[in-house]
Structure 1
């Protein structure tokens, strides 16, 4: 009996201890109000490089290309060069069949000879008749046609000589030569093909002077063209080498606009070196015009500049005032030692749309700035459980 009573009191004491410990844990923080998460989201101030760019696209082309055509019609006899052939100025590229041109020259020479003979005969008759005219044996009406015949045959001779010169020029033009030193990047003819130089000169070859220098014809939107200037640095990539970045400079901003479906763009010419010859005409380039480049500057997210707390939540940081923050045109907030918001004046330098470069006044790398309020659902709602409290954790 005495043993049973002792066991009863022992269990009672243990139960009271358990109830007391659970109650203490409950009031210490495991109650229904929950443990609040931090009230603000923060981001770290970093130091790095900020670059602001304007993006565009364009097509690669040789800096100087020459279209080689023909001034005469005929049939292609020989083609002496092909794609990618290196040519020198004056080198023969192709020839037309010479038979017709040689015949035209021969015909012109015969016409000149006939005109010379007619002129000689007319001059001979004029000289023979002049003494008779001077002595009065020939009237003015009889003598005048003789002088006109001389003038007419002299004009006919000039015409024949011009026709011969044209025939000889056509014969020379039947041999098509390169006008520059360069590389053949297009060939549009084959032997036996007929070319007709009537209204439009046919294109036979396209020659690029120097493929070690390329240019990009980039289309820049009217909203960005004001930020582009000559000698501006440019980066670009091509699809053939996606992991490689090439450099260039702006050579020209053309003033003639182009409007396509109510979108106005301007053509910007970018020069780029191509010493390895990996850039080819016609490639599509994705271009970034470097508008601004800042190195070793403090960077903060733009959300920190946009964050505006309620007036009662913020206080000026040490050494700062509301007046000075407004004076510099920028301000951010950081958390004080006790969790209060402190306003810090900053001087903004530039922004790329995501981060902003600021001066070194007031902040340094590693500082945390507030970017916005914490979400309300970050507070964890808890309910008390005796056994959970005994285990040292609340039950969610």
Structure 2
């Protein structure tokens, strides 16, 4: 009885054979459906055709101007800061803003009462030293005569040796006194010269012909070289000739050179361009906010005095000019046909259903920079060229196989039919 129950339980646990057959039938049907779908997709993919169309531009002959942009400020050709060499009080200020000045013209005067007293003292000392020199020279002549007389007596045997020694000593002392008096006179003359120089410096004069740009001096003001801001006047030489100090980016400085021409604008005159010429390109770099620039100095004519020191200017420097050259758009130098797809898709059933990534997204080509693609008979043809100057939009090219009017390819658009 127990054996029958075990056999019955074993039979109940086994799946019926009919159910297992249905499972196998379903799996085969699914595989067949997937295979058919993959075949249909593959046929659909190969039945369509793709037609490539190209955007082109003609090779044109024309003129090209290459420019560099820089910003800077206008400054006088010669600017001088004038201060007082002496400490003192300003007694008078004799010029104002925008006054025209000449070399040697008085700008301001210091109170000279103390300096005048020093000059008088130095003059007295110089006179005293001169008198002492005269006295010393007279004494020296007297002693020299006594020495000569004593020498004659000694030669005749009428003078003692002790008298001779005394007279010779007196002569040496007299000559030394003359030297000392001369040195004292020299010192007194030097002190007098210094005092008179200070008196002269108490009158502040212009060192140049020009105009007063700024005046910081006022009557009664205490001035001196030891102050925080000792500058009293800012003078500029002839403002009809100025200079523009332009900051050129390090990426452009290699193209900038002395003698190149430029035009610039200022905010005060938006509709007017001013002409300038580069006179200097400085080697020293300047770093501002991690940006490296180099200073270019441009000479500017300012006959009508419209331009003023300190104005901000934007300059366009012409670094290269070509006439009658073959020009192509820069886009033509960047274009190249897509590379052929490499690599295979997935194998087996997945390969039938899923197209390979390369067929969906062909690799992007990279232009060599030494050739162009010209459309000839509807087919792109690579032509070797030499690259010249560029203005950012067009580039000068030359090549034996390139001619004016050739259609260079700048882009490609693929359309499915």
TM-score (norm 2): 0.67
CA distance in 2, matches of 1:289, 1:61: 18
Q: Which residue does 1:362 correspond to in 2?
A: 403
Tell me if structure 1 keeps the 8 A contact 2:118–2:195. Answer: yes
Per-residue Cα deviation, 1:336-364 (whole angstroms, up to 9, x for no partner): 5xxx2354857654322222245695343
**1:100-179 matches, cutoff 5 A:** 100-133=114-147, 134-135=149-150, 136=163, 138-179=166-207
Counterpart position of 1:331: 372
2:307 counterpart of 1:279: yes
The answer to whether the aligner puts 1:235 opposite 2:263 as a matched pair is yes
SS at match of 1:223: coil
| 1:261 Cα deviation from its structure 2 partner | 6.3
Stretch deviating more after TM superposition (105-114 or 58-67)? 58-67
Specify every segment of 5 or more residues in structure 2 that has no aligned partner in the other structure, as ranges. 1-46, 151-162, 341-368
The aligned residue for residue 293 of structure 1 is: 321
Q: CA RMSD in A?
A: 3.6
Separation of aligned partners in 2, 1:147 and 1:38: 116
Q: Are 2:251 and 1:223 equivalent residues in the alignment?
A: yes
Bigger-Rg structure (1/2) = 2
**Normalising by structure 1, what TM-score?**
0.70
Correspondence for 1:74: 88
1:306 aligned to 2:344? no
In structure 2, the residue matched to 1:6 is none
Contact 1:344 1:362 in 2 (8 A): no
Deviation at 1:120, TM superposition (A): 2.6
Distance of 1:246 and 1:47 partners within structure 2: 30
Structure 1 counterpart of 2:208: 180
How far does residue 295 in structure 1 lie from its aligned partner after superposition? 4.6
CA distance in 2, matches of 1:149, 1:156: 10
Q: Shift of residue 266 of structure 1?
A: 2.7
In structure 1, runs of 5+ residues without a counterpart are 1-32, 313-327, 381-396
1:28 is matched with which residue? none
Aligned length: 327
Superposition deviation, residue 156 in structure 1: 0.9
Counterpart of 1:352?
Answer: 391
Separation in structure 1 between the aligned mates of residue 203 and residue 375 of structure 2, nearest angstrom: 81
Q: Distance in 1 between matches of 2:271 and 2:324?
A: 25
Q: Distance in 1 between matches of 2:414 and 2:268?
A: 46
Structure 2: distance between partners of 1:38 and 1:210: 67
